[in-house]
Amino acid sequence: MKNIAGVVALEHRLSGCKNVVTFGVKPNFLDYSEDEQRTIREAPKIYYPSTFYADLFDVYGKPTFPSYHTYKCVQDKIKQTALFSLLGIPHPRTRVYYARKNRVDRVEKLFKYPFIAKEPRGSAMGRGVYLIHNREEFATYDQDRSIAYIQEYLPVDRDIRVVVIGSRAVHAYWRLAPENDFRTNIAVGGRVSLDGVPDEAIRLALHASEKCGWDDVGIDICCHADRYYILEANMKYGKEGFRKAGIDYTALMETLIENGEI
């Protein structure tokens, strides 16, 4: 595969790609050498700039992959939920509670047990997700917490991960929850199933990624009562689903770059 001049990345996501030069993320721009600074300034696009530099490149007018809009919602369930609501994208009924006064009572007015409580920011791989069965369990979750993120519980034993890169779904698979756990995340024991994924789920993922301005994302979707819902979006998705399907992620990214798709 030919080397493409000017393909520059900061984060190490593409470090295995032959057609990408990865500089790493340095906390001060002046920590880059003069040649690296000039290359970054002159590159037509910066790949995986990091959350910090994505903001700066947006101000500078420099295109990035993933997009600036993708980075704005990384590990931020509050922003994602607000965006889904604004755009009319199907999402489990969710509320964010800031004020602590009478919070238990206010939650119980809208949600029946059991319901889902999550860490609203910074969590991934199934961490910070709780199935709350009663008031006592909610009190444990809510203790010393400034923000409560509450979501209705949809009783399913599997969900779908659709990975969208650029403008197309490059992979889709089922994630099956392990025994005695409601979470489907691979990191907590969930299993990948390569059984056929319904077209409706893939169309929903593509619709959501386009409307939200996300171009590198793993979108988690469940089907409950014959309706599809987007649970959340993961911009730092794992590669286990690719490995199970025999997809070479690095070769895929090289091809997408060479073809100008990302």
The Cβ of residue 258 has, within 10 Å, a number of other Cβ atoms equal to 16
Given a contact cutoff of 8 angstroms between Cβ atoms, the answer to whether 64 and 45 are in contact is: yes
Say how many residues make up the chain.
262
Looking at the fold, whether 120 and 61 belong to one and the same domain comes out as no
Q: What is the pLDDT of residue 123?
A: 65
- Whether residue 46 contacts residue 62, with contact meaning beta carbons closer than 8 Å, is answered with yes
**pTM reported for the whole predicted model:** 0.92
The answer to whether residue 88 sits within a structural domain is: no
| Residue 180, pLDDT score | 82
Say yes or no: 253 and 165 in one domain: yes
Centroid of chain to Cα 54: 16
CATH of residue 144's domain is 3.30.1490.20
Quote the pLDDT of residue 144: 84
Tokens, residue 99: 């004020």
Does residue 87 lie in a domain region?
A: no
**Residue 85 covered by a domain:** no
Phi, psi for residue 161 in degrees, rounded to 5: -105, 120
**Domain enclosing residue 17, as ranges:** 8-65
Note the pLDDT tens digit of each residue in 20-60: 999 999 999 999 999 999 999 999 999 999 999 999 999 99
**Does residue 173 form part of some domain?**
yes
pLDDT tens track, the chain, 262 positions: 344 456 999 999 999 999 999 999 999 999 999 999 999 999 999 999 999 999 999 999 999 999 999 999 999 999 999 999 999 999 999 999 999 889 999 999 999 999 999 999 876 655 789 999 999 999 999 998 999 999 999 999 999 999 999 999 999 999 999 888 888 888 787 899 999 999 999 999 999 999 999 999 999 999 999 999 999 999 999 999 999 999 999 999 999 999 999 9
* Residues contacting residue 71 through CB under 8 Å, at least 6 positions apart: 49, 51, 54, 55, 64, 235
- The enclosing domain of 213 has a CATH number of 3.30.470.20
Peptide bond into 114 cis (omega under 30): yes
Question: Does residue 184 sit in the same domain as residue 235?
Answer: yes
Residue 77 forms part of a structural domain: no
Whether residue 137 sits in one domain with residue 181:
no
Residue that terminates a domain, selected from 152, 178, 196: 152
For the CA atoms of 170, 174, 175, 180, the dihedral, rounded to the nearest 10 degrees, stands at: 170
Residues 59 and 118 in one domain: no
127 φ/ψ angles, rounded to the nearest 5 degrees = -75, 145
Which residues are within 8 A (CB) of 104 and not within 5 positions of it... i.e. 6 or more apart?
A: 135, 138, 139, 142
Instruction: Encode the chain in three state secondary structure.
Output: CCCCCCCEECCHHHCCCCCCEECCCCCCHHHCCHHHHHHHHHCCCEECCHHHHHHHHHHHCCCEECCHHHHHCCCEHHHHHHHHHHHCCCCCCEEEECCCCCHHHHHHHHCCCCEEEECCECCCCCCCEEEECCHHHHHHHHCCCCCEEEEECCCCCEEEEEEEECCEEEEEEEEECCCCCCCCCHHHCCEEECCCCCHHHHHHHHHHHHHHCCCEEEEEEEEECCEEEEEEEECCCCCHHHHHHCCCHHHHHHHHHHCCCC
What does residue 201 show for φ and ψ, rounded to 5 degrees?
A: -65, -40
Residues 27 and 99 in one domain: no
Residue type, 160: I
Question: Is the CA virtual torsion 19, 17, 220, 142 positive or negative?
Answer: negative
